[in-house]
Amino acid sequence: MATSSRPNVLFISADQWRADCLSAVGHPLVKTPHLDRLAAEGTLFRNHFTQAAPCGPSRASLLTGMYAMNHRSILNGTPLDNRHTNIAREVRKGGFDPILYGYTDTSVDPRTVAAGDPALRDYGGLLPGFREGFRYDDEICLPWINQLRSKGYTLPWHPAQTYFADPAAVLPAGKGHSYAPTLYRAEDSDTAYTADRILQHMQAHRGQGWFIHGVFLRPHPPLYAPEPFNRLYAAEQVALPQRESSLAEAKAQHPFLDYWLDVQQRPGYYFGHQHNVVSLPEAELQQMRATYYGLITEVDLHLGRLFDYLRETGEYDNTLIIFTVDHGEQLGDHYLWGKGGYFDASYHIPLIIRAPECRGARGKQLSALTEAVDLMPTMLDWLGLPVPASCDGESLLPWLQGADPAQWRSEVFWEYDFRDPHTQQAEQRLGLNSNECTLAVLRSERYKYVHFTAMPPLLFDLLDDPGEFHNLADNPQYLPILLQMAQRMLSRRMARADRVLANTLLTRQGVINPPC
């Protein structure tokens, strides 16, 4: 669908951004005017879900188009097998020079480097196929840190603490700890830096056709924002998390949740926050959520700079723009913070696409169930490039063109692996071996089935219980639904098992269905 002139692709990913935190979908507080405009000029997918958590596994699925059951990069730091192709490798075959500004959180296959290679000490490596514009090193943007130093900022001894609250800030009475601003000004933030670098690349390569993967860290914690974004939303106006009446009630839902809520109560569990985030006072919870919203609006502001440049230079109608996220954020719901587990808040994420020639769904908000693995096939399809047989997703181009594909999926699928090869804490607490510390979810519009490899399942009726508070797996009335969902999950896994060569056949007449 790309035009005859060399097209552009602006593939933007933020980090840890919930699907409900867009004003375009009706959030009562969060303001995202630039993404709202992109949605009005493109297409917003309201039921979009990632395939894994945390960052590494989710981005592995996003960038390879594969379910975690196939790519098997299941933890932050689990190597991504070098045999797998990815979006960067495929568009490079098509003549592009894909460049990364940010990070992919993918770990190098140790079989491809020497034993002492420094890449083996950094889980957030550069995904093969990308050229590096700038890259985070162990969750820290060192080029940005160096720029702050060059501007005269006095920084903490450890670079990671640059993201924390300004130690010299005086917290007003009655304000939660995350009200404190950062030590850097808004114009010098990591978000501003990322947008600056992407903008510079677009300016330097105007009219040449480019493929940019730009990754913004925010609103990933720590939940501290520069002025004025730290105080953009009044904490007292922020709704409290949706959660059970007590921590004990939340833990009673499942043995995994009992374990995970204990883990989250450890000081420092939530990056940049030394408090026990599970038992914070309500005012603190509201302030953390308010600052999270402020970080979102900051990202939106800088995305607007990128979109406006494309409009002003006439490149807007020659650029495929995709905005999405790696995974969501619990934000205190069910007493949880961060991402993982099985609740929708961790996996339901934003997706907005503007494909210039695709006007059939322009300005629409679609309710189709879509997955992060759909984005690699979509980009390749739009560019007129072949989609590898390894991709588990489907192109969204028909939806963007205004069609309603008859054979579209009726459920989304995701996985979460909670093993701990280093400390074995999950294994010891739950009495499981590492390969049993896994769960998978099949979610339709109404029902949600959670299958644990070696623990009891869960079943939720999302029509009656959208907050996922009432497990129906032991209710005899729901046994037919439980069995049907389990069967459909098994069928999904069987149909999507590694099939790169499964449909290829060598004959005396030659190769039938050669893999692309």
The answer to whether the CB of 84 falls within 8 A of the CB of 66 is yes
Full-model pTM: 0.97
Q: Pull the structure tokens for residue 495.
A: 């149909």
Cβ atoms of residues 109 and 127 within 8 Å: no
β-pair partners for 441: 414, 450
Q: What does DSSP assign to residue 78?
A: P
CA distance 122 to 111: 15
Give the confidence band of 89 by pLDDT, cuts at 50, 70, 90.
Answer: very high
First to last CA, the chain: 20
pLDDT of residue 216: 98
What pLDDT, on the 0 to 100 scale, is given for residue 1?
Answer: 54
**pLDDT range class, residue 2, cuts 50, 70, 90:** low
Q: What is the mean pLDDT of residues 284-303?
A: 99
Q: Which tokens belong to 258? A: 């009992």
> 12-61 pLDDT, tens per residue?
999 999 999 999 999 999 999 999 999 999 999 999 999 999 999 999 99
Residue 488's CB is within 10 A of a number of other CB atoms, namely 17
Mean pLDDT of 177-203: 98
In DSSP terms, 182 is beta-bridged to 165
- What is the topology classification, in CATH, of domain 8-405? Alkaline Phosphatase, subunit A (3.40.720)
In this prediction, residue 227 has a pLDDT band, given cuts at 50, 70 and 90, of very high
**pLDDT (average), residues 124-142:** 91
**pLDDT of 299 higher than 80:** yes
Q: How far apart are CA 408 and CA 128, in angstroms?
A: 31
- The radius of gyration of the chain's CA atoms, rounded to the nearest angstrom, is 22
- Angle 414-419-421 (CA atoms, 0-180°, nearest 5)? 140
Q: Are 68 and 74 in contact (CB under 8 A)?
A: yes
Q: Please tell me the predicted confidence (pLDDT) of residue 120.
A: 84
Per-residue burial over 47-81, b if 16 or more Cβ lie within 10 Å, else e, is bbbbbbbbbbbbbbbbbbbbbbbbbbbbbbebbbe
**474-493 pLDDT, tens digit each:** 999 999 999 999 999 999 99
Confidence of residue 122 (pLDDT cuts 50, 70, 90): confident
DSSP assignment letter at 355: -
Neighbours of 498 (CB within 10 A): 16
Residue 4 pLDDT > 60? no
Q: Which helix (H) or strand (E) holds 232?
A: none
Q: Is the dihedral of CA 371, 372, 377, 381 positive or negative?
A: positive
Chain-wide mean pLDDT for the chain?
Answer: 96
- Enumerate the active-site residues: 55
Task: Name the residue ranges covered by the structural domains of the chain.
Answer: 8-405
Across residues 116-142, what is the average pLDDT? Answer: 89
Q: Which residue is it, tokens 């995202």?
A: 32
Q: How far apart are CA 486 and CA 461, in angstroms?
A: 15
Sequence letter at residue 66: M
Q: Tell me: the pLDDT tens digits for 422-473?
A: 999 999 999 999 999 999 999 999 999 999 999 999 999 999 999 999 999 9
C-beta atoms surrounding 508 within 10 Å: 4
Say if residue 5's pLDDT is above 60.
yes
* Exposure letters 274-297 (e unless 16+ CB within 10 A, then b): ebebbebeeebbbbbbbbbbbbbb
Written in H, E and C, the secondary structure of 382-397 is: HHCCCCCCCCCCCCCH
